[in-house]
Structure 1
């Protein structure tokens, strides 16, 4: 992270945590004919993921029932997606979203871009393990089968999780910047391969230097150059990697704004980003959102969501504050 401010999530471990009490309260909320959705929100959005997993164990012990199965049975629509999504460990949630993006007819390329352009080597490794454990399939093989062209090649490169970490070489940065500049001019298959190899394998610190050198060489911002020279999902993936190198919370603020305003509220994208980033940088994403778009994320969620679904999304965004 190079933008200079503290990256912060909205959900932190709850103090005075009592998993058995939480499990008993969730049992009361889920048993019988009704369902106390407000109580579900109050508990599950105010505990960190590790605490939710302990609650699920306590619930199993107390009721001999699976908490996730009961949530799926009692809830519906997007509210169910939020509550169930909160119960996945982060690698399993990424794996689930990737699987859902590729199953059946059609592929949700934007989901693949959001996840694979933004995750660390460690997160990718855990995600691949979770994918195999949950679906008995190889994530890289599924990506190869469901995508094509240079977009596929770049996704496969990213999912290998081989990015250098912490390494910088100013002299090499100038050379890499020249390669990127030539790739934006020539646009041959070989140049596209070199372009994606640099963006997928160099460290964030090194790419920061490369982008500065690119500006010096070309007189143009690299995002503008990519947008001029390439199109389609390959172009979107290239830009996503650049934006994540520069300011990952700003990238997700942009993706949330697009999901809310460009697609008539793309629920799955909004839910995925809020849950996945809730313990990493969602507070910072909120800040970027307000800075860049003039309205708070709370304001825009209220305008498009309603009922307990709206309340759950706002609770994740707020964390342990009462801002909404």
Structure 2
């Protein structure tokens, strides 16, 4: 999983395009994963972990798509049913990052601001770490998903110099408020 976390990429724009990745094993691989998940023999944990660690982003996007076609269920929902604890959280975070990294960080920011009573460390860590990478895209996804801008939520939940520092990192415009 460490290897997957340090790699770059996402699903965006690859699946279904000419030359898109083809998963070795074809539909049988998806069927085996689905059946193992249903039987909960323990094999499903190993299979999913191997797929997440050894397949490219494009292949994983295809796995997620085919898994849904075969099972009628989103891979995240299946993970929530088949796994528990921190391993489930790890798998869900991995799948969400593979699908759309900025949307994942928007979700993490929203959770840190709303669910935990403003979890300072998480907000600071994400804003600082992503500020020179994709913070503008994260802000866009945040507004699309939650209806209010990240700037607005920071302004409502932080105050004083701390608020000003977060807003400066966020680079929020008055238009965003």
Scaled to the shorter chain, the TM-score interval is: 0.7 to 0.9
Aligned to 1:193: 46
1:265-315 deviation per Cα after TM superposition (whole angstroms, max 9, x unaligned): 111011111111111111111111111111110111111111111111111
Query: In the alignment, which residue of structure 2 is the partner of 1:212?
Result: 65
Paired position in structure 1 for 2:7: 120
Question: Which is further off, 191-200 or 206-215?
Answer: 191-200
Higher Cα Rg, which structure: 1
Please say if residues 31 and 70 of structure 2, whose CA atoms lie closer than 8 Å, have aligned partners that are also in contact.
Answer: yes
Q: Distance in 1 between matches of 2:89 and 2:134?
A: 22
Please point out which of 272, 286, 289 is paired with 2:125: 272
Which residue number corresponds to residue 171 of structure 2? 318
Tell me, yes or no, if the aligned pair for 1:253 and 1:286 is still in contact at 8 Å: yes
2:157 to 300, 304, 310: 304
Once the two structures are superposed, the pairs formed by residues 171-190 of structure 1 within 5 Å of their partners are 171-190=24-43
Distance 1:256 1:226 in 2: 22
Partner residue, 1:290: 143
**Distance in 2 separating the partners of 1:312 and 1:118:** 29
Q: Distance in 2 between matches of 1:288 and 1:309?
A: 24
Superposed CA deviations along residues 197-232 of structure 1, whole A, max 9, x for unmatched, are 111221111001111110111011111111122221
Unmatched runs of 5 consecutive residues or more in structure 1: 1-112, 122-166
Separation in 1, partners of 2:154, 2:128: 14
TM-score, length basis structure 2: 0.83
**Pairwise CA RMSD of aligned residues?**
2.5
- Rate the CA distance shift 1:223–1:265 in 2: closer, same or farther, 3 A: same
SS in structure 2 opposite 1:279? coil
The secondary structure found in structure 2 opposite 1:239 is: helix
How is 1:11-90 mapped onto 2 (pairs within 5 angstroms)?
A: none
Conserved 8 A contact 1:173-1:207: no
Query: Quick check: 1:187–1:229 contact (8 Å CA) kept in 2?
Result: yes
Structure of greater relative contact order (alpha carbons < 8 Å, 6+ residues apart): 1
Partners of 1:205 and 1:173 lie apart in 2 by: 14
Does structure 2 retain, via aligned residues, the 8 Å contact 1:274–1:282?
yes
Normalised to the residue count of structure 1, the TM-score between the two structures is 0.47
Q: Check 1:247–1:258 CA distance in 2 against 1; reply closer, same or farther (3 A cut).
A: same
TM-superposed CA distance for 1:322, in Å, is 6.2
1:116 CA displacement: 8.0
Matched, 1:240 2:93: yes
Find the counterpart in structure 2 of residue 202 from structure 1: 55
1:222 to 72, 75, 80: 75
Number of matched pairs = 166
Q: Distance in 2 between matches of 1:248 and 1:187?
A: 29
